[in-house]
Structure formats: C-alpha cells, structure tokens
Chains A and B, each alone.
Chain A
Amino acid sequence: MELDIVELSRFQFAMTALYHFLFVPLTLGLSILVAIMETVYVMTNRPIWRQMTKFWGSLFGINFVLGVATGITMEFQFGMNWSYYSHYVGDVFGAPLAMEGMMAFFLEATFVGLFFFGWDKLSKLQHMVVAWLVAIGSNFSALWILIANGWMVNPVGAEFNPQTMRMEMTSFFDVVFNEVAQAKFVHTVSAGYVTAAIFVLGVSSWYMLKGRHLELARRSIAVAASFGLAASLSVVVLGDESGYSASHTQKMKLAAIEAMWETHHAPAPFTLVGIPDQEARETHYAIEIPWAMGLIGTRSLTKEIPGINDLVAEAEQRVRRGITAYDALMEIREDPANASAEARFVFEQNSDDLGYALLLKRYVDDPREATEAQIEMAANDTVPGVFPLFWSFRAMVGLGFSFILLTGYFFWMSSFKGAQYPRWALRLAVLWIPAPWIAAELGWFVAEYGRQPWTVDGMLPTALSVSHLGVTDLLITIAGFVMFYTVLFIVEMSLMVKYIRKGPVQDVAETDEWMDRHQARLSGMTRAPFSPNPAE
C-alpha cells in the first residue's frame, strides 16, 4: 500500500515534469532568438526582420502559454504529493522557488503580454526592450529552478535541526553558488537554445523545400545555425562540466551511468556500449575506450573513480552510522531540554548519515530495530537502475553531437557557400526537429532517475517524501492529468502546425515601400533626407 503511493507519486511527478519540459526549452531559446531578431530590426529598420520577429514570436506565444500553464502544476505539486519532502526541506528548497517568482517569473509574465499587445503602444526601442525582458525573465527563471534542483543533488548550506525535525538553511550563498546548480543551469539553458535553434532551422528548411517565404527562411537559418552551433558546443562542454562535478558530488550516479561495477585503477576506461546486468553486477559485451572515463571524470590520470560495489559497501557503513545518529536524535527529541551532552555530541558526529538510516524506514518503522539483512537491502537500494541510465545517457550524448554536426553544417553553408542548401540537408533538418526534445527529456531522466533512491541526496529517501494520500486520490489525479494533458498537447500541436503552414503575415505594402526607398538611396536617384523611422 505504502509503496504504491510512492510509485504513483513518482509516476505523476515524472509525467507532469517531463510534460512541462516539452515547452520550457523552446521558451528559453526562442525568447532569445526573437529578441535577437527584433534587435536586428531596430538596428537595420528592415521590415523583413520585423516580420520574422512577429512570426517566430507568434509560435513562441503558442508554446509559452503551455509552459506557463503546466508550470503551475509544478509549483504546487510539491505540497500536494510530496508533503513530507516539503516539510523536511522547505526551509531551503522553498527559497529559490520564491526568488524565482519575484525575480524572474513576474518579469517574463508581466512583459509577455506587452510583447504581443504592445506593437502599437510602444516605440520600437521600448518594444525591443520588452522582448529582452521576457527573454531575461525566462532564463533567470531557469536559474532559480536549477538552483533548487541542484540542491537536491548536492545539498550544501543546510543542516538538520532536531527541534523542528527538518533541514534548515545555514548559508544562502552556498545554496545559490552550488557548483552543481551552476553547471546544470548553463547546460540546461544551452539545451534550450539548441532546441529553439533546431526548431527554427527545421521550420525554415521546410519553407525552403516548399519554396515559400524564402527571404524569411534564409535569414532565419543564418541566425539559427550560428546561435545553434554556439549553443550545441556549449551544451556538450557544459555537460562535461556536469560530469566533472558529478565525480565528487554524485559518485553513485556517475558510476551507474557508466555501469562501473568495480573501482578501476586510474585512469578508468570509458564503456562506449555494452549491456549492463544489475543482478550479476557486470556489463556484457562492453566496448571500452581506455583512459577516457578517468580524464572526463577527474581531469587527471591518477585519481580513481569509485565503482558501484565499493560505493555500496560505503553506503552500508553510512547506514550503520545513520542508525547511531537516529538513536541519539530520538533521545534528544524525547526531552529536548535535558538531553545528555553525549547524545548531542553523538548526533552531531553522525548527523550527516541520518538520511541513510531513513532508507530503512521502507522495511522497518524504527531503524534501530533493523536486522543485518535489512541494512544490506538498504545499502543495495542506493544503486539506481543502471541499464536505463547507461543507455539514456548515451542516447543523449549521441544526439548532442548530432546537433553540433547539423548546426555546424548549416553555419558553414550559410556563411561561406552563399546559403545554397542541398535538399537532403533541408530534409534532414526538418526530420531532426523532435531530436532536441528527446535529448532534453533523456537528460532529465538521467538527472532525476539517477538520483534515486533519494529526493535529496543522502538526506531524504524518496519513499519517505510523499504525502499520505490514498491510492484513489492519486489514480484520480493521474487519470485527470493524462486526459487533460493529452488534449492540450493535441490542441497545441494542431495550432503550431496551422501557424507554421500559414506562415508569416506579409506586410506587402510596408516591404515594397521600404524596398523603394532602399533602392532609391542606393542608386542615389533621389536624395531623400535620412529618416530614422522609414515606413512606419
């Protein structure tokens, strides 16, 4: 019964979070691309750039609204489904979420209305500033969310308070400048930029193939390819940064992703492909690249990366120390005023491992009564599912390199080959539109599934984090979300396709007038006085 709630809560969270992240990456990237296009418009005054801003802006709007709508679920789901988590770490985890609201979400949501409704009410410069504020707001939003998420992986700047039975913040600075959070932030927004770039690239390629809106498509490809190349290089490099920080903050996740069962003498090899077998704790048919893992993970030839078996043995020791901490905690809690100095000392010495004792709560109500077999089970629970992590990670990385190749090729062709693209490349670009989304979802899967069995690494097990709801509660909301989200997805996709098919609104008169003036200025036939706002 208990387990069912945990599994159902996990399923619902995973589903709603992955769904939310179908819209977020495009928002992150497209907001910036649109702001860039509008900046070019303001600088050059060319109507085509205004058309591009409006066209990509309208697609941005269709996507943005679902990102916002599904984000509402995320903000409240912690309290609804993860109430013990909310109590246990809300003192730390809630702060970045509230900061996100104040610093970022208010900014983007307040100005996004003006972006769409303000074309006639604002000057060109003001409107461009509004576009940038939306983009900056969206990206700051990601920063604070990833600070919160990074803390779950690397819970710094906090300690357990026996009086309130929860983690409390000791340093906001440490929480904000958590190295895991910073690496995650740049990696995630870069992934968003890649997504938007490939989206613009793919849609524009489709126009090229159809011979429509060629002016818009050609310029859009140029912007998207250069932006996308920079972003996909960044996403891979910063992914590597995540790997490096994982080697000292998330050893078990790293070992599971690499299916490293045994600690290898340094520098460890990188298993390119293979079939991990969790039961037997070995990887069949492994193809290895010598030294590579050691170099990526430790950036040295001499440091070892611990394997799963050693980490499990270490976890077992931590479970035992956790039981000691739990015992002292119970004594302190029994009578806080008169608890012995010894109990306080013992608790302080072992409080870092308290979470490991809580792993036992799955098997026994009071961790102090755990049997040897249960301690061993708890230690084994610290290993996440290796096979899905191993392969999701490899698929994500493979896609990441494909984005470098694709955007690199288009960048080369647009910059040096006169923007003449072969049809096979255009077709490939259309075909590749869904790929960044797949990569991003795989990335989240690796990050979150790889953190199991913890919600907060080493501190709070997932199984303990849930709300005490009934199975019926969860079945009702899961069914509700599945139906509701499916309908919204269909509506969203149909509108996207409709607006892509329809193409940009062509301000024919405006464009013609501008072209006439431009030609006139070039040929010098009329010496019209320079006007900063032609064709307005």
Chain B
Amino acid sequence: MILNELVSYEVLRLLWWALLGVLLIGFALTDGFDMGVGALLPFVAKTDTERRQTINTIGPVWEGNQVWFILGGGAIFAAWPPLYAVSFSGFYLAMFLILAALILRPVAFKYRSKRPDPRWRSTWDWALFIGGFVPALLFGVAVGNVLLGVPFHLTPDLMPMYDGSALGKLFGLLRPFALLAGLVSVAMLLMHGAAWLSLKADGAVRDRARRIGTIAGMVAAVGYALAGLWLAVGIDGYAFTHAVAHDGPSNPLMNSVAREGSWLSAYVDRPWIVAAPLFGFVGIAMAVRGLRAGRDVSTLLWSKLGIFGIVSSVGLTMFPFILPSTVDPNSSLTVWDSSSSHMTLFVMLVGAAFFMPLILAYTAWVYKVLWGKVTQDDVTANGDTLY
C-alpha cells in the first residue's frame, strides 16, 4: 500500500485549504500587530524615548512573526503551485512594493538606534511606518481584487497570461471595492497594533494608542459591513457549471466555471459560516470596548478573534474558489483543481503535523519569557542591548 493513500485526495485538499487559512491568519494575528505598531509609530510616539519604547515592544518578536508570511509563501508554493504562479506574477508590481516595504522594515528595526543622529532616526521611523502601512494596505487591496476576480487566463500548457501594461496592471488593482478592502485591512491592523501597545507599553504611548485604536476599530467594523453589503448587491460570484470531481487532476481547464449569482449565496448553502463574520463584528466591538476601558490581555484576545473572523470569512465565502478569473472564468483556480499532487500534499501534511505544534510551543515560550511591559525606563537603562 502506498502511504499517501491513507488520506484521500479530497480530504488533503480540504486540509491544505484550511492550513493555508491558518498560515494567513497566523500572519495577520502575529505580524499584524507589528505592522499596526509600525503604522502607528509616528502618531503614538513623539519623543525619541517614546519611539524606542514603542519599537522595543515588538523588537524581539517581529522577526519570528514575519516567518508566518514567508511560510505562507512557501506553503502556497508547495500546496497550491498554480496559485503561487498566477497570483505573484499577476500582482507583479504590487508584490514588489510589498517586498520593498517588508525588506525596509527589518533593516529599520535593526539599524534605527545604532546611530544617535536625529535625522538618521527619523528617516528609519518613516521606514517603519511604510513597512507597516504599505503591506497592510496592499494585502487588503489584494484580497479585494481576489473577490472581484483577476484578469488572467491559462494557456493549454497552463502558462499564466495577463492583460494590460505594467502600470496599467498596478493601477488596475485600485478599484473602489479593493480600496475599501484595503481600508478595512489597515484599520483592523491599526486596532490590533493599538491593542498590543495597550498591553506592552505604558504612559503616553499607551494612552495615544488606545485613542487611535478605538477609532480604527470602529472604522474597520463599518468598512467591513459596507464591504459585505457591496458583495450582496454589486459584485457577482462564481460557480462551477457542473458537478465537479473533488479528487480530479489539478488542471483548472478541465472544469468549466461561470460568473453568476452572488458570493453571499455561500451563506445559504452553508449557513454555519455566518459564525465567521459574527466573530469579526463581536471581536472588534469587544476590542474597542476593551481599548476604551483600558483592559489589556482580554482586548488583545478580542482583537485576535475579530481578525480571525474577518480573514476566515473571506475564504469561507469564496470556497471552493481561490483565485477567480474575470477574463476567462474557466481558468479560475479552485480548491479542487489547483493543488499539488496527492503525494506532495500528504508529505507536507506530515511535516506540518509534526512542526506546527512545535512552532506554536516554542513561540509561546518566547512570548512568556518576554512577558511584561516595556517602559521608558527600560529603554534608557539598556541603551546597548535594545533597539
């Protein structure tokens, strides 16, 4: 017997679809507050000591958090190669901007406090702002575009092709709905960053963060509701035009897809998924309340629940679609025809089953070691070891 047939192809595809969600949500929950803190930096921290205090709340953890993104990329490559091939080349210049921002960020963390020159430091502070704000915005815009559908098609050789010029493709992403999604993403991560600062900082930084976070949370909730409404009335969904085999070969062109109905019909077919947007709203509402009341640990947890709800609602709404095509719906990538082979999915699942719990365990231990607030006294007393 071949070992990989212990788990059926259909189940493996479902598991890897869920794992992709876990990685993206893991990224949003952990690196999300790093991006939020980066984007908040110029507004919550005025003096150099305050800025160092703010930066050092995430100083020891951003590097590990960022790996959720890297691993997300690796997992898409390994488990959903067509998605990896189509999306990153299709969003080419947008991806470049995200990469540039994400490269800037680590460098800014590490190098900012290595020189006392105020101009040097304020330059890197803006780099940190860009490193937080730009990816937060562009990830949201990308999700908005995925819901709208993307202009690509596959040749019979399964080579991805796109329409439009370089800048045309970049600015083509900035459709109104996608910008709304970007706004929700930024607001949500600002709230998350504020919740983190409320837990890890004290004094003026914490107070400012709580004020901004409250507003950001409300903006996120309203924007999210608007986006839902927009999906209901203004955007067509996608559907297979025939019963589709769940264990067929990974070739999107073998299935036919039509652009019809609404994405939200998923909530009729699978009513239980309404839990996701519900979590989104409840999480944000409770996080906003917590920020106003000055509760720390519970606020961060509520904020996490809100983000979990919002991100997972996108995936659950679109299921089984992953990346729909506007110009050739048959090229759309779905859970049932865009995965790796049975063997690869199985091998990777074994790897994930072993390593993911281990990763969660040691990450939890690191956070435990670093537990406690970072104060202004801490950063002035430890000039050499902290950022």
Contacts and interface: CB of A to CB of B under 8 A. Distances in A.
Interface of A: 61-62, 65-66, 68-73, 75-76, 78-81, 83-84, 86-87, 90-95, 97-103, 105-107, 109-114, 116-122, 161, 163-166, 168-170, 172, 333, 467-470, 472-473, 476-477, 480, 484, 488, 491, 495, 498-499, 505
28 contacts: A62-B111, A65-B106, A65-B110, A69-B107, A72-B66, A79-B77, A92-B344, A94-B340, A97-B77, A97-B78, A98-B79, A101-B74, A103-B355, A106-B359, A107-B362, A111-B366, A113-B60, A114-B369, A120-B382, A163-B249, A166-B81, A169-B340, A169-B347, A172-B343, A472-B165, A473-B169, A476-B166, A491-B111
A98 B74 contact: yes
B170 to A, nearest CB: 9
Contact of B89 (A106, A120, A467): A467
Contacts of A83: 85-86, 88-89, 159-160
Closest 5 CB pairs of A and B: A90-B81, A79-B88, A94-B78, A94-B77, A110-B64
Interface string B141-181: 00000000000000011111110011101000000000000
Interface string B184-226: 0000000000000000000000000000000000000000000
B67 interface: yes
A76 B73 contact: yes
Contacts of B77: 78-79, 86, 90, 93-94, 97-98
A118 B162 CA distance: 48
Most B CB contacts (10 A, CB to CB) among A83, A116, A168 go to A83
A467 B92 contact: yes
Contacts of A68: 63, 66, 106
B257 to A, nearest CB: 18
A117 B56 CA distance: 9
A110 B78 CA distance: 22
B96 A477 contact: yes
A102 B352 contact: yes
B341 A91 contact: yes
Given A122-B369, A469-B166, A495-B114, A169 B341 contact: yes
B55 to A, nearest CB: 12
B299 interface: no
B385 interface: yes
B14 interface: no
Given A117-B386, A470-B166, A473-B93, A75 B74 contact: yes
Contacts of A112: 63
Contact of B249 (A99, A161, A468): A161
A70 B105 CA distance: 11
Most A CB contacts (10 A, CB to CB) among B60, B77, B88, B356 go to B77
A330 to B, nearest CB: 10
B35 to A, nearest CB: 14
Contacts of A480: 96, 100
Contacts of B347: 95, 169, 172
Given A102-B351, A163-B251, A121 B369 contact: yes
A76 B344 contact: no
Contacts of B343: 168-170, 172
B71 interface: yes
A168 B111 CA distance: 43
B229 interface: no
Chain B residues touching A, majority SS: helix
Contacts, number: 252
Contacts of B370: 114, 117-118, 121
Contacts of B384: 505
Interface residues of B, number: 78
A192 B99 CA distance: 26
Nearest to A96: B78
A493 B161 CA distance: 41
Contacts of B61: 113
Contact of A166 (B95, B158, B254): B158
Contact of A100 (B69, B74, B76, B254): B74
Contacts of A94: 74, 76-79, 81, 84, 340, 344
B281 interface: no
B70 A75 contact: yes
A498 B114 contact: yes
B369 A72 contact: no
A488 B107 contact: yes
Contacts of A81: 89
Nearest to B84: A79
Interface string B100-120: 101111110111001100000
A72 B96 CA distance: 11
Contacts of A84: 85, 159-160
A495 B66 CA distance: 24
A168 B341 contact: yes
Contacts of B64: 106, 109-111, 113
